[in-house]
Amino acid sequence: MGGIALRHLAKSFGSVEVIRDLSLDIASGEFIVFLGPSGCGKSTLLRMIAGLEEASAGEIAIDGVRVDALPPGRRGVAMVFQHYALYPHMSVRENMAFGLRNVGQSQDEIERRIAEAARILEIGHLLERKPSQLSGGQRQRVAIGRAIVKEPKAFLFDEPLSNLDAALRSRTRIELARLHQQMKSTMVFVTHDQVEAMTMATRIAVMNHGRIEQVGAPMDIYRRPATRFVAGFIGTPAMNFVPVTPVGGRSGQTVVRLPDGSEVATAILDYGISGDGELELGVRAEHIAAGGGIPARAEVVERLGDRTLVHARLGDGTVLVFEDAGDSRVAIGDPVGLAIDGARVHLFDANGAAHHAG
Amino acid sequence: MPAESRRASPTPDPDVVGRSHPAHLLFVLPYFLVFIVLVAVPLGLGAWLSFQEYDMLGGYGGYIGFANYADLWKDRIFLGAVRNTIWFVIITTPTFVIIGLFLALTLNNAWRRSAILRSIFFGSSVLSVTIVTLVWRLVYMPDRGLLQNVFGVFGLAAPNFMTTEYLALPGIAIVTVWWIIGLPMMLFLAALQQIPAEIYEAAALDNASRWRMLTRITLPAIRRTIVLVALIEVILQFQLFGQANLITNGGPNNASRPIVMFIYEAGFRDWALGYAAAASQVLFVLMLGAAALQLWLTRQRPEAG
């Protein structure tokens, strides 16, 4: 129970099309993250599921029942808002009880659910406080608690971690992942933070310009991004992109030439992607190593402790970021020879579509 | 802690923000002087005057103790004026709160129509009392007034607000509400716009009916503004004068004579300044009492809620 089906959804605000012809099936019990830059339509999509925005076209079904004509309260979903949206003049207990009272739940049941949620979230000692007497992290827990007591078919989260400081954010991330395992309910989570998406999601839907660019498990999206947009959006540091010229196949696999003249033999099958000639090579920092034959000079050295990121400039001016060991001895200005792992690179054609090895 | 180390340092920096310095008094001085000359001194003079027999016409005067107050206590016109004024405040203040809130709730949206209506409702506030009373005299006029015309269509006789004793004050109240409903409406609008939309969305997801949203979300959120509007209106309506003077001239049979009108007549028609000053002190105490009562009530509420 708790599966969500979106069919040909569209949403326009005036003449601005925010969501266009979007279809997606969210399985019951799944933790799906809508990931994308601001303005990509991810929050609007979430609000359409919640019933806070009306769909311009299309259907939404929860548990096999069409809900797009129902008011928000009757869709069986609970939402955690970015700014928590706690009722400021009600105590924590009243905040959690409000929704249950509105549907005529018995007082015993309300007390039982509040006690249960308070136990899970460890907020029992806060029940009589007002939201203004709580810290940001505590408010966040109360907002989640208010969702839990409703025992919804699906939880909707609208960037709920963006107001927390870095330490609290990573802790809450872990707690949310644990909560999901514990409750086994469907969770839809909107964020622009790829780390949140990668760490919590069972599946990520990467969105751009009101469309889903790719849906998949986090590591699938990381390893095999479907488009150049996804490749650039996922991963820190961002993937290196270099315009390349195909120089024909070698034993059926594509060989490309970098702007500085060096050639990279990829493991990508040559099935004619080099057709019109406009190609871009995508390679992550961890798939470039020092000690190869591509001449470059270190320009910036970022020491992160466990690893070192080196920004190296090739002869023609192209800059590639590569990953070196934590105790790397590369210094600014040092000449380095780069080796690109041809088995792990991606090629993007003029339409932005990706081609991978294997 | 940087603040503490600074305090502990042997030579404090004279430029540190928050330190007191005699020269800072200069910043307060302009307001302070105006306050002394235009508020404190007249207040004191008024109190002093209320203990004097001071006849401008005869040109004599002298200390008479509480005689003015004793006379006021026996003056049936004055007691009537006090009763009228309190009654006027009682009928207008809740009306301002309820209608102002209703207008604000109805017009709190981005529609063009609402923007126009907001301007119209606020627009009458800029008119002077003379214009407003002139317009409403035309409405209330017994034979050819707008009201009579409207009632006449149905073959009815319009209530005569200007010449019926028990209708005179309600008639003036209607004029007053029509005239300055704009300010309460604007104050309520400002308060409503402070409530984050997310809270209403959370309430919608919580299955709250419109009535529950109003009583459990909106009203608690704007409680302070409700108190503010009530306070402003109490202070304002205790000072009723212009409308009563121009529409009914205090009549019929003193039924709409307010305290300020009594003061005006005692002071500037009968030239009994001491007597007028004593009446002013009574009005001052009434307003102070009403305002204090309201502030006290609002200070009680947060503990209860």
Query: How does strand A154-158 pair with strand A186-191?
Result: parallel
Q: Say what percent of chain A tops pLDDT 90.
A: 65
State the pLDDT at residue A2.
77
State the pLDDT at residue B17.
64
Q: Spell out the domains of chain A, with CATH numbers in brackets.
A: 4-227 (3.40.50.300), 240-355 (2.40.50.140)
- Helix, strand, coil fractions of chain B, as percent rounded to 5: 70, 5, 25
* Sole residue written with tokens 């029942």: A65
Q: Is the pLDDT of residue A205 over 70?
A: yes
State the pLDDT at residue B277.
92
State the pLDDT at residue B298.
76
State the pLDDT at residue B12.
53
pLDDT digits (tens, 9 = 90+) for A145-161: 999 999 999 999 999 88
Q: Spell out the domains of chain B, with CATH numbers in brackets.
A: 67-300 (1.10.3720.10)
Q: Is the pLDDT of residue A307 over 70?
A: yes
State the pLDDT at residue B144.
84
Mean pLDDT of chain B: 87
* Sole residue written with tokens 């479907």: A226
pLDDT digits (tens, 9 = 90+) for A330-342: 999 999 999 999 8
For residue B188, what are the CA distances in angstroms to B124, B221, B222, B292, B298? 17, 11, 8, 22, 17
State the pLDDT at residue B1.
38
pLDDT digits (tens, 9 = 90+) for B41-81: 999 999 998 998 877 777 777 888 888 898 889 888 999 99
Chain A residues 92-111 with a CB less than 8 Å from chain B: 98-99, 102-103
State the pLDDT at residue B11.
55
Of the listed ranges A133-137, A324-328, B159-163, the one predicted with least confidence: B159-163
Nearest by CB to residue B208, choosing from A78, A89, A102, is A102
Q: Is the pLDDT of residue B304 over 50?
A: no
Q: Write the single-letter amino acid at B55.
A: D
Mean pLDDT of chain A: 90
Q: Which residue of B207, B209, B301 is the best one to mutate when testing the A interface, meaning the one whose CB has the most A CBs within 10 A? A: B207
Q: Is the pLDDT of residue A253 over 50?
A: yes
Q: How confident is the model at residue B23 (pLDDT cuts 50, 70, 90)?
A: confident
The complex's ipTM? 0.85
Q: How confident is the model at residue A293 (pLDDT cuts 50, 70, 90)?
A: confident
C-beta atoms of A85 and B207 within 8 A: no
Within chain A, where are the H helices?
42-50, 92-102, 107-121, 136-148, 166-183, 194-200, 218-223, 228-233
B207 Cβ under 8 Å from any chain A Cβ: yes
State the pLDDT at residue B271.
85
State the pLDDT at residue B15.
60
Q: Is the pLDDT of residue A277 over 70?
A: no
pLDDT digits (tens, 9 = 90+) for B206-231: 999 999 999 999 999 999 899 999 99
State the pLDDT at residue B300.
57
- Mean predicted confidence (pLDDT) in A73-85: 92
Nearest by CB to residue B198, choosing from A74, A83, A102, is A83
Q: Say what percent of chain A tops pLDDT 70.
A: 97
- Mean predicted confidence (pLDDT) in A163-182: 87
- Mean predicted confidence (pLDDT) in A292-296: 89
State the pLDDT at residue A352.
85
C-beta atoms of A99 and B216 within 8 A: no
B205 Cβ under 8 Å from any chain A Cβ: yes
- Mean predicted confidence (pLDDT) in A243-267: 85
Q: How confident is the model at residue B301 (pLDDT cuts 50, 70, 90)?
A: low
B204 Cβ under 8 Å from any chain A Cβ: yes
Nearest residue of chain B to residue A146 (CA atoms): B206
Distance, in Å, from the CA atom of A266 to the CA atom of A346, rounded to the nearest integer, reads: 8
Q: Is the pLDDT of residue B181 over 70?
A: yes
In Å, how far is B233's CA from the nearest CA of chain A? Answer: 26
**CA-angle at A163, arms to A140 and B194, nearest 5°:** 85
Q: Is the pLDDT of residue B305 over 60?
A: no
* Sole residue written with tokens 């180390």: B5
Residues 6+ apart with CB under 8 A from B41: none
> Residue A89 in contact with residue A130, Cβ under 8 Å?
yes
Q: Say what percent of chain B tops pLDDT 70.
A: 92
pLDDT digits (tens, 9 = 90+) for B8-18: 445 555 566 66
Q: Is the pLDDT of residue B91 over 90?
A: yes
A85 Cβ under 8 Å from any chain B Cβ: yes
Q: How confident is the model at residue A276 (pLDDT cuts 50, 70, 90)?
A: low
C-beta atoms of A103 and B207 within 8 A: yes
Distance, in Å, from the CA atom of B266 to the CA atom of B244, rounded to the nearest integer, reads: 16
